[in-house]
Amino acid sequence: MSSKYEENIILPNGKTVKVITSVVEASEKDVDIAVEAATKAFNEEWIHMDGHKRGRLLNKLADLIERDIDELAALESLDNGKAFTIAKSADLPLTIAVYRYFAGWCDKIHGKVIETEHDKFCYTRHEPIGVVGAIIPWNFPLLMQSWKLAPALACGNTVVLKSSEYTPLNALKVAALFKEAGFPKGVVNILSGFGPTAGAAIANHMKIDKVAFTGSTAVGRSILKASADSNLKKVSLELGGKSPNIIFADSDLEVAVKWAYQGIYFNHGQCCCAGSRVYVEDSIYDKFVEKFKAYSESMKIGDPFHNDTFQGPQVSQRQFDRIMSYIESGKQEGATLLLGGERHGDEGYFVCPTVFTDVNENMKIMQEEIFGPVVAIAKFKTVEEVIEKAHLTNYGLAAAVFTKNLSRAIKISNTLRAGTVWGYKESGFGRELGKYALELYTQVKTVQINLES
Ligand SMILES: NC(=O)c1ccc[n+]([C@@H]2O[C@H](COP(=O)([O-])OP(=O)(O)OC[C@H]3O[C@@H](n4cnc5c(N)ncnc54)[C@H](O)[C@@H]3O)[C@@H](O)[C@H]2O)c1
């Protein structure tokens, strides 16, 4: 693709190089071609295929992903910078599980008979929507792909999916596996392309019936506008987060530190649900901070292909610069930089695990999504205070509560305006996994038959 992004690639030996490979950049015209193929496949073949056959195809795809697990994990690592061992033990099994889970739903999607007058027969059908446009980000390329493709296909839709311009490789590899699994031509169409061109063409397309988007809140807004300005296509949005982790004095400190660490540093902080604001009850605050710092210092950063690496490089120069500018703003706004705050090593986009303390809710690092290994730790005294603070952002994607008091945990979980899995407020709408996802990719038709005639 464009040379602008070529310098963003890190080799397995940790060296920054210009190019590992190039892929074809999809244009608006390619989107048209893909939509045409998807429309034809939907009308002529996919809509007529029995659910159990769709399920077999999805299971076959999962078999092929399992067969090629090492290659896919290596591609994920090369493309995104995440550790190979983590890609293989987390991203890949989760991807396979998603395809298998939705394979099971294919022949279980059905409507209801509705009680009505005796001379009428009324029922609902849960029908596919048609051609789904899917636009995904770079932080979990394979998994995000499966979260869109598996439920959309299970419900009988055909798909045009655009991968992120930063991580196109596995989408192409999986496209070949779809073909090998025997999916009819045109059912799955994968494009590598940029947002403002191919992505916007999908969002604006008159023949795309629904767009499923995961990415930033800013682009999410533009997708909604494009729907309003084009054919009012259905839209589901999975957007950003600034999730609070609330740690009470009665929690097991070791457990809380371990999960707060995973909560922010997993995938180098590039998780929409990253626990980037940690609130600790004041009586254990000092102890927590000391332990959390020690834990963070022990993190193995480096070559994604080393077995003990936990954190590889950030995905791109753009993200690296963005994270560094947030760190700078934290310092400027008066937060205490307890740990990190700088590049790790002298090449590649490695960011040291970074911990801020003495923060307040007005600071940018407490309000905006950093999408990097940067955490802010604050104190609280009362439940009311921490709930109020937890709500002081525009996001509501996820939250965590650590306490041994079960009734308090349940009460606070019920009170927090966070979707835990998916959110309220500016984090988007629509539930992507589980049975709820079926509602995103079907439309309900009510049929009423007059029995008199
Ligand atoms: N809620 C979730 O499930 C979830 C998961 C992962 C990432 N995210 C969010 O995604 C963001 C990071 O990812 P990113 O930098 O790739 O986000 P992004 O919004 O810049 O890009 C996401 C996708 O949208 C495309 N895109 C960009 N501009 C577009 C436009 N004008 N029209 C159509 N498509 C366009 C990109 O090419 C990419 O494929 C973070 O804010 C993160 O929280 C959310």
The complex scores an ipTM of 0.94
Rounded Cα gap, residues 222 and 300, in angstroms: 39
Q: Looking at ligand 1, which residue's alpha carbon is closest to its atom 26? A: 195
The mean pLDDT of 274-284, rounded to a whole number, is 94
Encoding tokens for residue 304? 């994604």
The torsion region of residue 130 among left (phi > 0), alpha (psi -120 to 50) and beta comes to left
Distance from the alpha carbon of residue 270 to the mean position of ligand 1, in angstroms: 12
Distance from the alpha carbon of residue 275 to the mean position of ligand 1, in angstroms: 19
pLDDT of residue 421: 35
Closest ligand 1 atom, CA of 422?
Answer: 1
Closest ligand 1 atom, CA of 219?
Answer: 19
Is the pLDDT at 438 greater than 90? The verdict is no
pLDDT of residue 430: 56
In tens, the pLDDT along 283-315 reads 999 999 999 999 999 989 988 999 999 999 998
Rounded Cα gap, residues 231 and 209, in angstroms: 8
Q: Which of 23, 169, 214, 238 to mutate to test the pocket of ligand 1 (most atoms within 8 A of CB)?
A: 214
Higher-scoring residue by pLDDT: 119, 37: 37
The mean pLDDT of 245-267, rounded to a whole number, is 92
Among 164-178, 247-261, 402-416, 419-433, the minimum mean pLDDT is found in 419-433
User: Is residue 172 classed exposed, middle or buried when 0-12, 13-18 and 19+ CB atoms within 10 A define those classes?
Assistant: middle
Determine contact, residues 156/62, Cβ cutoff 8 Å: no
Is the pLDDT at 5 greater than 90? The verdict is no
Give the residue from 331, 354, 350 showing the smallest Cα distance to 341: 354
CA dihedral 358, 361, 362, 366 (to 10 degrees): 80
CB of 238 sitting under 6 A from ligand 1: yes
Confidence class of residue 18 from pLDDT cuts 50, 70 and 90? low
The mean pLDDT of 373-380, rounded to a whole number, is 95
CB of 200 sitting under 6 A from ligand 1: yes
Is the pLDDT at 10 greater than 60? The verdict is no
- Alpha helices (H) in 81-123, listed in sequence order: 84-86, 92-105
Is the pLDDT at 423 greater than 60? The verdict is no
Residue 238 annotated among the catalytic residues of the structure: yes
Cα 411 off chain centre by:
28
Q: Which of 142, 219, 371 to mutate to test the pocket of ligand 1 (most atoms within 8 A of CB)?
A: 219
Is the pLDDT at 422 greater than 50? The verdict is no
Return the bridge partners of 237, or none. Answer: 213, 429
Is the pLDDT at 452 greater than 80? The verdict is no
pLDDT of residue 1: 46
The mean pLDDT of 149-157, rounded to a whole number, is 97
Q: Looking at ligand 1, which residue's alpha carbon is closest to its atom 32? A: 200
Rounded Cα gap, residues 191 and 31, in angstroms: 8
Closest ligand 1 atom, CA of 428?
Answer: 1
Collapsing DSSP to helix, strand or coil, 299 comes out as: coil
pLDDT of residue 419: 59
Is the pLDDT at 26 greater than 90? The verdict is yes
Is the pLDDT at 391 greater than 50? The verdict is yes
In tens, the pLDDT along 215-253 reads 999 999 999 999 999 999 999 998 888 889 999 999 999
Is the pLDDT at 13 greater than 80? The verdict is no
Name the range with the highest mean pLDDT among 121-125, 153-157, 261-265, 405-409.
Answer: 153-157
Residue listed under structure tokens 């009012």: 232
Distance from the alpha carbon of residue 163 to the mean position of ligand 1, in angstroms: 10
Is the pLDDT at 270 greater than 50? The verdict is yes
pLDDT of residue 429: 59
Give the residue from 235, 152, 78 showing the smallest Cα distance to 161: 152
| Residue in 238, 281, 369, 432 annotated catalytic | 238
Give the residue from 117, 198, 213, 266 showing the smallest Cα distance to 430: 213
